[in-house]
Amino acid sequence: MVNSNQATKTISLDTYGIKNAKVNYQLSPDELHKITIEKGQGVEANSGALAVNTGEFTGRSPKDRFIVKDDITRYKVWWGNINIPFPTDMFDKLYDKVTDYLSKKEVFVRDSYACAHDDLRLNIRVVNEYPWSNLFAFNMFLRPEESELENFTPDWLVINAPGFIADPDVDGTRQHNFAILNFTKKIALIGGTGYTGEIKKGIFSALNFILPVDKNTLPMHCSANVGEDGETAIFFGLSGTGKTTLSADPNRKLIGDDEHGWTSDNKIFNFEGGCYAKVINLTEEQEPDIYRAIKKGAILENVIMDGNGEVDFKDITITQNTRVSYPIYHIDNIQTPSIAENPKNIFFLTADAFGVLPPISKLTPGQAAYHFISGYTAKVAGTEAGVDEPMPNFSACFGAPFMPLHPTKYAEMLSKKMKDAGVNVWLINTGWTGGPYGIGSRMKLKYTRAMITAAMNGELNDVDFENHPIFGLAMPTSCPNVPDEVLNPKSTWKNAKAYDVQAKELAASFRENFAKFESYANEEILGGAPMG
């Protein structure tokens, strides 16, 4: 049953310091769609989806993400270039300026929640300056029943004011945009950017602190699905590595595409109520579930359309980080509610821009921990501000920008859960084959799907494996529906010596990156490092 979340009650925001605002509370998706078009902030595509332009920022701005440093966070957060401290007094002053900015304006308010697990539910109130941002919140967070709204009490408040421009010299920000988490006041404050991903990633980051610290639950930047046999598969990976695409499997039920928790009693649950998929080069043939989810209620971001409302998914005039958000019920084959158990296969997804890593390899426990802490991939162009082309990147736990605690905390929790559940761990390269970016080509999606299917079906249990000479990864020598020569990356290169050089350079990058974690790692994890 689809819940439009439309409520009859009215609310005031005075208690938050937003005075005399015109509050549009819990409007339906159709109303928000209509208001966005009436305000000239978006247009309707032929599919019926709403198309908007997020403005200056078409991706996250990680250098402008802050956490208030106070008694709760001071000794628990892993401070540094990822988790940047923000003073309490500066937050209070900036908060007052933002709420004053929103006062007397028309704003859009939505009550929703995160975490499909009833015992871990986090109630969220989102206050948006723009109607389409509020529609994004409807799509991406879980939707309470109308009866639950009458006495709804938010645990966290999200204030999203894209039109507010900060003064760095006065407000303590790096530039005019910011996304700040305050764990004492339970507020996510976002300003100066219309990129909607900051809204969901703010709550994701909050849960990445709350769940392991208070709930003995591992938060994961991953997608997940479940088969008819009840076995769950988990897909870790950063943006652009295939989490959304590979979890949308017509033969398995989708739990979620980006953010999940793994409880102490071995349950996997979705944080969200929707999907936020990249649509660059999207086709119905290759990704039918995502393509068909783009209909009334979905929001297309930063795409280019012709005069007839047809979207050109190849056009990257605005950004390569074109996106669509849609409620999860736009996908036909979903797990309801978004919770399952019995995880049996974990896939680490990487888009290796150097064409070095095998398309599939099986990891030992030590290698699994090493690669999880390393979190290697290539940043996909446009996903972050200032990234114009793919570049190598190490992101601890495949989600360092959203992880407030030290990476080893998450790695220790994952390692224990993997051993207790007896899961198989695989490294999947969805990146380049036959050479690096610019010379080789992207791994064919049909091959990646075939390899993952074979792993989940146990079809790789009895095949021969060979170890990669440098990374030590166990590579299958055969796989159903995949040419044998594809499975060994070196054999796809025209110049074998060039491959060796490139592989050794990448291995050196792994070791250099891991140096900062060595003092925290045991011998088993250190043994998972590349050899040369």
User: Which ranges of 304-376 would DSSP assign to H, the alpha helix?
Assistant: 365-374
Q: By C-alpha distance, which of 324, 315, 306, 356 is closest to 508?
A: 356
| Marked catalytic residue, from 196, 241, 244, 338 | 244
Pairwise CA distance, residues 219 & 399, whole Å: 10
| Marked catalytic residue, from 110, 243, 330, 362 | 243
CB atoms within 10 A of CB 383: 21
Q: Using an 8 Å Cβ cutoff, are 144 and 126 in contact? A: no
Tell me whether residue 60 is one of the annotated catalytic residues: yes
| Marked catalytic residue, from 258, 260, 263, 267 | 258
CA dist list (Å): 224 to 119, 328, 344, 459: 20, 13, 11, 20
The phi-psi region of residue 471 (left if phi > 0; otherwise alpha if psi is between -120 and 50; otherwise beta) is alpha
Q: DSSP assignment of 229-285, as one string?
A: TS-EEEEE--TTSSHHHHH--TTSEEEESSEEEE-TTSEEEES-SEEEEE-TT--TT
| Marked catalytic residue, from 33, 201, 260, 406 | 201
Would you call 528 exposed, middle or buried from its count of C-beta atoms within 10 A (0-12, 13-18, 19+)?
buried
| Marked catalytic residue, from 112, 196, 232, 239 | 239
Radius of gyration of the chain (CA): 23
3-state secondary structure of 392: strand
3-state secondary structure of 87: coil
Tell me whether residue 186 is one of the annotated catalytic residues: no
DSSP-derived pairing of the beta strands 274-278 and 343-350: unpaired
| Marked catalytic residue, from 65, 110, 221, 252 | 221
**Cα 311 to the chain's mean position, in Å?**
24
Which residues have C-beta within 8 Å of that of residue 279, sequence separation ≥ 6? 290, 294, 300, 303, 311, 313, 322, 323, 324
Residue 479 DSSP code: B
Tell me whether residue 65 is one of the annotated catalytic residues: no
Q: By C-alpha distance, which of 206, 233, 204, 232 is closest to 220?
A: 204
Pairwise CA distance, residues 247 & 225, whole Å: 6
Q: DSSP assignment of 133-162, as one string?
A: HHHHHHHHSB---HHHHTT---SEEEEEET
Q: By C-alpha distance, which of 498, 491, 497 is closest to 477?
A: 491
| Marked catalytic residue, from 54, 58, 60, 111 | 60
Q: DSSP assignment of 148-199, as one string?
A: HHTT---SEEEEEETT----HHHH--SSS-EEEEETTTTEEEEES---THHH
Tell me whether residue 258 is one of the annotated catalytic residues: yes
Tell me whether residue 110 is one of the annotated catalytic residues: no
My answer on whether omega of the bond before 337 falls inside 30° of 0, hence cis, is yes
Catalytic residues: 60, 201, 221, 239, 243-244, 258, 323
